[in-house]
Amino acid sequence: MSERLQPGDPAPAFSLPDADGKRVSLADRAGRKVIVYFYPAALTPGCTKQACDFTDNLQLLAGAGYDVIGISPDKPEKLAKFREKESLGITLLSDPDKAVLSAYGAFGEKKLYGKTVTGVIRSTVIVGEDGKVERALYNVKATGHVAKLIRDLELAPAGGEQGD
C-alpha cells in the first residue's frame, strides 16, 4: 500500500512523457503552484468529466497561478486520443509503471463496487511554489471535484460577485 502524502511533505519529483511523448517534470514547474491529479483511465466517463472540468476552469486556475497536470497509467497514444476527442487543454502524463502514482499514494487498495481491488486511487495533490505538498486529497469523486477544489482554494468569486 502506498503511503499517502501529508501537507508539508516534499512533493515526489517526476519526469514522465506527455500525450506527445515529450518529457514533463515537476521541476519544470518550480516556482509555480501545481495541481497534480491522478485518474484511472482516459476515455472513461468519470475521467472524461473530471478532465473536462479542469479544462473548463483552466483559465481561472492559471490566473490564480496554478498549473494542472493529470497523470494516469495510460500510454501517450491513448492520452493524445483523449486530448483530441475531448479538446482538453490540460497537461496529461503517462505513468504506465505506476511509479509516480505509487510515490504520491495514488495507487493501491481501494473499494470498487464493494470489493477490495488494487488500482489507481482518484487523488489530487496541490504542490506549492516551494515544491512542498499543500493539500493531498484521496478518493475524490470525478464529478464535482473541480468545483469543490475551486471553492476550497477560495478561487470562486464569492456570491457570484467579482471582487476586483
Which residues are catalytically annotated? Answer: 47
Measure the CA–CA gap between 35 and 125, rounded to whole angstroms: 6
* Of 62, 124, 127, residue with least CA distance to 90: 62
As given in the structure block, the three cell numbers for residue 125 are 495533490
Give the three-state DSSP class for 6.
coil
- The sign of the torsion formed by the CA atoms of 54, 140, 160, 65 equals negative
Q: Are 134 and 126 in contact (CB under 8 A)?
A: yes
Measure the CA–CA gap between 46 and 122, rounded to whole angstroms: 10
